[in-house]
Amino acid sequence: MHTIVSGLPRAFFARWFLFAACCVGGFAARAADPVSPLVPTIETEAAATVKAFNTADAAALGGMFLETGELVDEQGNVFTGRPEITALFQRFFGRFPQAKLEMAVTSVRPIGDAIAVEEGERRITAGTDGESAQVRYIAVRSRQGDRWPIASYREFTDEPLPTAGEMLRPLAWLVGDWVDEGPAGRTAMSFRWSDDGNYLLGDYLITADGVESKSTQRIGWDAAGGTYRSWTFDSDGGFTVGEWNAVEDGWEVVSDATLPDGTVGSATMKIVPENDDRFLVRSTGRIVGGNPEPDFELTITRRPPAQGATR
Residue 170: pLDDT above 80? no
| Predicted pLDDT at 33 | 46
| Predicted pLDDT at 150 | 95
Write the single-letter amino acid at 203.
D
- SS3 state at 47: helix
- 151 Ramachandran zone, left/alpha/beta (phi>0; psi -120 to 50): alpha
Q: What is the mean pLDDT of residues 180-185?
A: 77
Q: What is the mean pLDDT of residues 71-83?
A: 90
- Of 47-51, 153-157, 169-173, 305-309, the range with the lowest mean pLDDT is 305-309
Q: What is the mean pLDDT of residues 49-69?
A: 94
CA distances from 195 to 113, 142, 234, 285 (A): 35, 32, 22, 36
Q: How confident is the model at residue 91 (pLDDT cuts 50, 70, 90)?
A: very high
Quick: pLDDT tens for 202-212. Answer: 999 999 888 99
Residue 226: pLDDT above 80? no
Residue 263: pLDDT above 80? yes
CA distances from 118 to 43, 123, 152, 288 (A): 9, 16, 10, 36
| Predicted pLDDT at 305 | 65
Q: What is the mean pLDDT of residues 133-141?
A: 89
Q: How confident is the model at residue 158 (pLDDT cuts 50, 70, 90)?
A: low
| Predicted pLDDT at 48 | 94
Residue 239: pLDDT above 70? yes
Residue 304 half-sphere exposure toward CB, CA atoms < 13 A: 3
Residue 22: pLDDT above 50? no
Pick the CATH number of 169-302 from 3.20.10.10, 3.40.50.720, 3.60.21.10, 2.40.128.20: 2.40.128.20
Q: How confident is the model at residue 127 (pLDDT cuts 50, 70, 90)?
A: low
Q: Which residue has the higher pLDDT, 273 or 119?
A: 119
- SS3 state at 49: helix
If one counts every other C-beta atom within 10 angstroms of the C-beta of residue 251, the result is 23
| Predicted pLDDT at 58 | 95
| Under 8 Å between Cβ of 220 and 206 | no
Classify residue 113 by burial, with Cβ atoms within 10 Å: 0-12, 13-18, 19+: exposed
Mean pLDDT of the chain: 82
- Domain ranges for the chain: 39-161, 169-302
- Would the CA dihedral through 31, 32, 36, 40 be positive or negative? negative
How far is the C-alpha of 189 from the C-alpha of 1, rounded, in Å? 14
| Predicted pLDDT at 57 | 95
Q: What is the domain class of 39-161 according to CATH?
A: alpha beta
Q: What is the mean pLDDT of residues 28-42?
A: 63
Within the chain, where are the H helices? 3-6, 39-54, 58-62, 82-95, 164-167
